[in-house]
Copies of this chain bind each other. A is one copy, B any other.
Amino acid sequence: MAEVEIGLGKSARRAFGLDDISIVPKRRTRDADCVDISWEIDAFRFDLPLIASAMDSVVSPASAIAIGELGGVAALHLEGVWTRYEDPTPLLAEIAALPADQVVRRMQEIYAAPVDTGLVVDRIRQLNEAGVVSCAAVTPQRASSLAKYLLDAELDLLVIQGTVMSAEHVSKDDQEPLNLKTFVRELDLPVIVGGCGSYQAALHLMRTGAAGVLVGIGAGGAARVDQALGIGSPQATAIADVKSARMRHLDETGVYVHVIADGGMASAGAMAKAIACGADAVMIGSPLAAAVDAPGGGRHWGIQAAHGELPRGSVIDVGTRGTLEEVLVGPSHDDLGRLNLFGALRRSMANAGFETLKELQKADLVVAPRAAARP
């Protein structure tokens, strides 16, 4: 690890973001249809290595079904509007229309309504009935209390997600924090946990028995973790570190835990770079929030932005362009690369000469003083 002395007796490790790197093409190019971008985790196979972020601006039951039918999978947040309201669509429309300086206060009211466990079950069943892989997200705080309903509803894939996720959590004596290791091992359901940003944190999460870990601490377009909390983990370095943990865990246990890059990938180029650093799949939000058939109506936020006392993460305006289908698999009519993201990933691999995602994970990289600032 490259250490830099930042002051007398204080060192820091040099870390890199996806913007700092680029993929080096191999000697041999390929046709785009000679490229395989499919992804398998647990018993599930997906045409696209994609989990749509568990954000109310991205995933509704309807958009989850659409994304599933297009080859990816979407995580419905079980503590968002769809489990607090029978029909949240008027509220989503209200959030989309409010002036920027009023929206957080209104969201705090909207998200103060209680989670209805009946709706939790209904929403999951709705996904299952549509024939897509059902995937849903909960916070560690609610995981235990909701577990029963997830099993009842026959959820396929669970995401347990907090800003920073650790395998061990310190709580006050009179509180019972989630014992992640027990919970994951006892739950008859593949679980993806995160986010994390380091080798050690990832290794401990892997040892809970998780099927996958999310890499990313506030890396998304609507996140402001560096400013708000000072915590950070530039994504290229974080993904490479967690890949290293995956290798050690595989060596120790024979179990391959998937590494899912979460956030900060606004373009297909960034997705390709995340995989080149070692990711098996990507979790993206803002590019999908901008679809005309995404629930956010041009606005994008996570449930953290509705926190009653300390909203974290921003409410950002992403506009709308193209359908979810156009965003994911095209065709694109956009010269800025914001549509047909997975066609572009395929094209990236074709041009750079990689046949599979596993091959792309071994790509050579360059780091440039301002790679992303280039035209």
Enumerate chain A interface residues (CB-CB to B < 8 A).
1-2, 4-17, 19-31, 33-34, 103-105, 108, 162-172, 175, 177, 196-201, 204, 217, 219-234, 236-241, 243-244, 247, 264, 267-273, 276-278, 301, 305, 308-315, 330-337, 340, 343-344, 347-348, 351-353, 355, 364-372, 374-375
**Once the chains bind, are B314 and A335 in contact (CB under 8 Å)?**
yes
Chain B minimum-CB-distance residue to A168: B28
**Once the chains bind, are A343 and B310 in contact (CB under 8 Å)?**
yes
Name which of A14, A227, A267, A301 has the most chain B CB atoms within 10 A of its CB: A227
Copies of this polypeptide in the complex: 4
**Once the chains bind, are B334 and A12 in contact (CB under 8 Å)?**
no
Chain B residue numbers with a CB within 8 Å of A168 are 27-29
Chain B residue numbers with a CB within 8 Å of A165 are 29
Least Cβ–Cβ distance between A347 and chain B, in angstroms: 6
**Once the chains bind, are A25 and B164 in contact (CB under 8 Å)?**
yes
Q: A234-B374, A264-B374 are in contact. List 14 more A-B contacts (CB 8 A).
A: A1-B8, A6-B236, A23-B232, A104-B334, A104-B335, A162-B351, A219-B374, A228-B337, A229-B344, A229-B352, A231-B272, A231-B351, A310-B330, A310-B340
Chain B residue numbers with a CB within 8 Å of A353 are 166, 170
Task: Please judge, given known A-B contacts A229-B347, A247-B9, A309-B343, whether A198 and B24 are in contact too, CB under 8 Å.
Answer: yes
Least Cβ–Cβ distance between A140 and chain B, in angstroms: 9
Give Cα distance in the complex from A315 to B204, angstroms.
Answer: 48
**Once the chains bind, are A29 and B240 in contact (CB under 8 Å)?**
no
Which of B169, B204, B305, B374 meets A226, CB within 8 Å?
Answer: B374
Chain B residue numbers with a CB within 8 Å of A372 are 226-227
Chain B minimum-CB-distance residue to A355: B170
Chain B residue numbers with a CB within 8 Å of A12 are 16, 21, 364-367
**Once the chains bind, are A269 and B344 in contact (CB under 8 Å)?**
no
Chain B residue numbers with a CB within 8 Å of A6 are 15-16, 20-21, 236-237, 240, 277, 365, 367
19 A–B contacts, CB within 8 A, in A order: A2-B4, A6-B15, A6-B16, A7-B237, A9-B247, A20-B369, A27-B201, A30-B169, A105-B333, A229-B272, A229-B352, A230-B268, A230-B269, A230-B348, A232-B366, A234-B374, A309-B343, A310-B330, A312-B344
